Amino acid sequence: MPEFLMSYLPADDEDDGGTPFPTEYPQWEIERIARFYCADKIARQEPVKICYISEQPHVVTGFLGTGPSEVTAYPILPLENVTESGAAELRKKGQFYIGKEVNCGSKKNPEIWVIVGPENTLTIAAAADLPDNQIEAKDDFTAVRCDECGRIEGGHAPTCSLSGVLTYENYLDYAQANNIKNPKSYARKMDLNRDPETDAKVREWLASRAAKALEATA
């Protein structure tokens, strides 16, 4: 059995001390995640987009409400990590999505990933209870909010271009600009591995590109 599948075996009575995956997020983050809904594309075996939630790759299979107020998502891993036999073991669990292979590339250049689960139901985080004397102060709040990700006071979501966290798109741009073979595959591997040496090179290239773009508009 592939090593990663050991995490899906029945747990012992002892608590393994692992950190549970966060399931409550601000409204704006739930709305962002819902935009990656792809259950219909999975059913039609069409390419889907990866949604990164707390920096982990997922596919989004459902949402509730027009807000929405709830989203359903499943963690995924590249097929090369899971293996065909590992995917088959997952499918034996009898759950509709678990073990299913999805194309996270394109029709011409497929990138096969496997839905490994478990199912995550994500909801809107409850607002903190405020004393009556703080409600009006909250209404007058004027902190600067990022137009892209919605976070305040200089904070940014991991997927925001202003966060300093490298994204799949950053790795892909770097790979294409430097004529690296199979740029999409390279970008996905780098996005998962987060190698410090490679990240330093990508950041240096991005800074150089930004500087050239600024010079061009001067």
Q: What is the pLDDT of residues 27-72, one digit of tens each?
A: 999 999 999 999 999 999 999 999 999 999 999 999 887 778 899 9
- Shared domain for 119 and 159, answered yes or no, is no
H helices then E strands: how many in the chain?
A: 8, 7
Domain of residue 80 covers 3-124
Do both 159 and 51 map to the same domain? no
- Please check whether residues 80 and 144 belong to one and the same domain: no
pTM for the structure as a whole: 0.55
- 93 and 137 together in one domain: no
Q: Looking at the 3D structure of the chain, how many domains does it have? A: 2
Helix (H) or strand (E) holding 115: strand 112-115
Q: Is 217 within a domain? A: no
Q: What is the C-alpha to C-alpha distance for residues 125 and 43, in angstroms, rounded to an integer? A: 30
Digit-coded pLDDT (tens) for 136-154: 434 444 445 555 555 554 5
Q: For residues 103 and 161, state if they share a domain.
A: no
For residues 96 and 147, membership in a common domain is answered with no
User: Which of 81, 99, 124 represents a domain boundary (last residue)?
Assistant: 124
